[in-house]
A = this chain, B = another copy of it.
Amino acid sequence: MRAEVLSIGTEIMFGEITDTNASFIAGQLPQYGIDLLYVSQTGDNPERMKELFTRAWGRSDYIFVTGGLGPTEDDITREIIGEMLGETLSVDPEQERLLRARMEGSGRRMPERNIKQAMLIPSARALPNPRGTAPGWWVERDRKVIVVMPGPPAEMTRMWEHEVAPELERRADSILVSRTLKTTGLGESAVDEMLSPLLKGTNPSIGIYHRADGVHARIAAKAKTRAEAQRLIEPVEAQARAILGHSIWGVDDESLPAAIGHMLRAQGLTIALMESATGGAIASAITDIDGSSDYFKGSLVTYATEAKIANGVPAEIPEKYGVISRETAEAMAAAARIRLNASLGLGITGIAGGSEVEGQPPGTMHIALTDGEHVEYSLTRYYQGREAAKRRAVLNALTLVRTYLMARAAEGG
């Protein structure tokens, strides 16, 4: 099955928005055995849209369209498809009822031009859009499918998950299921070598990828059904888990903060931070996880040295060793742990800005973790601009916590 994506919107042509819909759809298609060959974007322009739609209809089995479903005159995706297929648009009574109910429910009178959002062509059925006023279209003719979805990503992804994905799964000849094991502490070639007895198979296949948060092993299986594909993966996953053991810290799209959350909860631990150079970014990453209040006590974001001292760092430590030092990071970790009454304390001090401080280069980050007895320490030097330096420091701090928790779990501690 050959597919292409058409993204419609003049705001894309002016660079006002980045087309994340296309990459979302692209990431979803492989599991249904659909090959994406082209993505095309153009503005709300009838000639150019007609050109793209006609070419796509000629060469692809599936066309996924986003945008151009709004109520204004500019929004002409429906009209262009009707014209291309030689079909007439007409108001669908059920869609009209839903549209009016929705507008009135939010207390507005519906402008009459909005009625176009209730229109269909004979080959189209409406796809519900509870997050907006424009239903999508599932158009089917001549063994080809056009799926039309609204441009706002929240509306599009909801429609994809509830309407489009299940339909694609029903129609798929085979389903590709994958399972990603995320590891730490091992290089790409080490993982490759360890898993080499498993790498010969083609279904499931295993791919090894080097990523910012460690090396990932991706097991992928193809079968008639999702359940069957999962059954193919299971024994291989079990073997891979036996081989990689405690190097695995997470699966699939589990993030580092989520994985740390699971481990903290499983081990009955809590954590507190004192952050300087990351300015609250570690705390913000940890609290992106639902339920993080169970194990996250808080973070003392002490940008100023006096704030560090006011929060329990002994004044003589930054004075003697410098603010940007291992010793200050360790004192910050200890102070956070005690001040916020947590099992673990993490301290980080460094330079996010572009100039040297205390003779240390931009991007220097001293990170310390303490459980009250032992101290773990990590030093990073990475600078590609302020925000990248912060991001990298967050990654390294979370990695330090993860490594500690994995070692503790391995010891049965």
A89 to chain B, nearest CB (A): 26
Partner of A284, one of B12, B19, B23, B280: B280
CB of B36 within 8 A of CB of A22, answer no
CB of A38 within 8 A of CB of B28, answer no
With A15-B26, A279-B292 already in contact, the answer to whether A303 and B307 are too (CB < 8 A) is no
Q: What CA separation (Å) do A25 and B19 show in the bound complex?
A: 13
Contact with B along A282-308 (1 / 0, CB 8 A): 111011101111001111111110110
CB of B384 within 8 A of CB of A154, answer yes
CB of A26 within 8 A of CB of B12, answer yes
Q: Check A353 for interface membership: any CB of B closer than 8 A.
A: yes
CB of B304 within 8 A of CB of A293, answer yes
Tell me the number of copies of this protein: 2
Q: Check A359 for interface membership: any CB of B closer than 8 A.
A: no
Q: What CA separation (Å) do A71 and B155 show in the bound complex?
A: 40
Q: Check A54 for interface membership: any CB of B closer than 8 A.
A: no
CB of B297 within 8 A of CB of A303, answer yes
Q: Check A41 for interface membership: any CB of B closer than 8 A.
A: yes
Q: Check A75 for interface membership: any CB of B closer than 8 A.
A: no
A154 to chain B, nearest CB (A): 7
Instruction: Chain B residues near A42: list those with CB within 8 A.
Output: 37-39
CB of B18 within 8 A of CB of A23, answer yes
Interface size on A, residues (CB 8 A): 69
Chain A interface mostly: mixed
Instruction: Chain B residues near A45: list those with CB within 8 A.
Output: 37
Q: What CA separation (Å) do A283 and B284 show in the bound complex?
A: 9
Q: Check A13 for interface membership: any CB of B closer than 8 A.
A: yes
Contact with B along A1-37 (1 / 0, CB 8 A): 0000000000011111111101111111110000011
Instruction: Chain B residues near A26: list those with CB within 8 A.
Output: 12-15
Q: Check A310 for interface membership: any CB of B closer than 8 A.
A: yes
Q: Check A354 for interface membership: any CB of B closer than 8 A.
A: yes
Query: Can you list 25 contacts pairing A with B, beta carbon distance less than 8 Å?
Result: A12-B23, A12-B26, A12-B39, A13-B36, A14-B27, A15-B26, A15-B29, A16-B27, A17-B23, A37-B43, A38-B40, A279-B280, A279-B283, A279-B284, A279-B299, A280-B282, A280-B284, A281-B284, A283-B301, A288-B386, A288-B387, A290-B354, A292-B303, A298-B300, A298-B303
17 more A-B residue pairs beyond the given contacts A290-B386, A298-B302, with a C-beta to C-beta distance below 8 A: A12-B39, A13-B36, A13-B37, A18-B19, A18-B22, A19-B19, A19-B23, A38-B52, A279-B288, A279-B292, A290-B353, A291-B353, A293-B303, A296-B303, A304-B340, A306-B341, A310-B340
Q: Shortest 5 CB-CB distances between A and B: which pairs?
A: A279-B287, A15-B27, A280-B283, A280-B280, A15-B26
